[in-house]
Amino acid sequence: MYGITIDIAHEIGKQTSLPVELVPFKTAGATVDAVKTGDIDLVFVAIDPVRGADISYTPVYIQIEGAYMVKTASPLKDNEEVDVTGNEIVVGKGSAYDLYLTREIKNATLLQAASSQAIVDDFMSGQGNVAAGVKQQLESDAKRYEGLRMLPGRFMVINQAIGIPKAHSGYESTTAYLSNVISELKQSGFIADAMKRHNIQGAKVAE
């Protein structure tokens, strides 16, 4: 496994002299479920008020854009046209943008794909007329499939942080410690260097 979160996890292990066991999950929802059951010690996840009931967050270390994708023939031209009765938006179940759109969308209908990776497959099979997700991932999918285009701009900013299960004793002190680590990694250029190393586009280091 590789990526910014992997680099940060190993850096935390290095600074604390603790062993690091990486536990991959197929969906964001499954990750949050593991937090609730106490099966994991730390989680790299998008901040959301709903998740905040069970998770204590560090400061944001990276910001990612959430965007919409439609088929080329779609009459939709901008984000403001999406939340209209009759539109169906495909989202990854339990993802940050699923939670956000569940709160914000008033007229359109949300269709939950099994995971963020399954969004485009569902969309291409005829489900929905709008796909919502991480801008970078959708842009990559739009290049792989013919007849797709992105709507300009973004509908949200996804704030990534480290989450500490509130079910764990001493989570406040753990959050405080990791908050300092994240601040140091941002200031030192560690996060920016990791983004370059892993060719992360469509995101920025949080201030």
Taking the CB of residue 72, how many other CB atoms lie within 10 A of it? 9
135 lies in the same domain as 111: yes
Distance of alpha carbon 118 from alpha carbon 11, whole angstroms? 31
142-70-202 Cα angle (round to 5): 50
Distance of alpha carbon 37 from alpha carbon 167, whole angstroms? 8
pLDDT in tens, 156-182: 998 999 999 998 889 999 999 999 999
Distance of alpha carbon 157 from alpha carbon 135, whole angstroms? 10
Q: What is the mean pLDDT of the chain?
A: 93
87 lies in the same domain as 44: no
The domain tally of the chain equals 2
Distance of alpha carbon 13 from alpha carbon 95, whole angstroms? 27
pLDDT in tens, 15-66: 999 999 999 888 877 888 888 787 889 999 889 888 888 999 999 999 999 9
Residues 6+ apart with CB under 8 A from 138: 67, 68, 69, 119, 120, 131, 150
CATH number, residue 122? 3.40.190.10
Torsion, Cα of 59, 113, 74, 69 (10° steps) = 30
128 lies in the same domain as 182: no
Q: State which H helix or E strand residue 14 sits in.
A: helix 4-16
pLDDT in tens, 181-194: 999 999 999 999 99
174 lies in the same domain as 119: no
163 lies in the same domain as 135: no
75 lies in the same domain as 119: yes
50 lies in the same domain as 72: no
Residue ending a domain, among 119, 141, 156, is 156
44 lies in the same domain as 77: no
Is residue 46 a contact partner of residue 28, using CB atoms and an 8 Å limit? yes
Residue ending a domain, among 117, 137, 156, is 156
Distance of alpha carbon 70 from alpha carbon 99, whole angstroms? 20
Asked whether the whole model's pTM tops 0.85, one would answer: no
32 lies in the same domain as 69: no
172 lies in the same domain as 191: yes
Q: DSSP letters of 83-143? A: SSTT-EEEEETT-HHHHHHHHH-SSSEEEEESSGGGHHHHHHTT--SEEEEEHHHHHHHHH
Beta partners for 157?
A: 65
Residues 6+ apart with CB under 8 A from 154: 65, 66, 67, 79, 135
Whether 105 has a pLDDT exceeding 90, the answer reads yes
24 lies in the same domain as 108: no
Residue ending a domain, among 122, 137, 156, is 156
8 lies in the same domain as 19: yes
Segments forming the whole domain that contains residue 54:
4-61+159-205
Helix/strand number for the chain, H first, E second: 7, 9
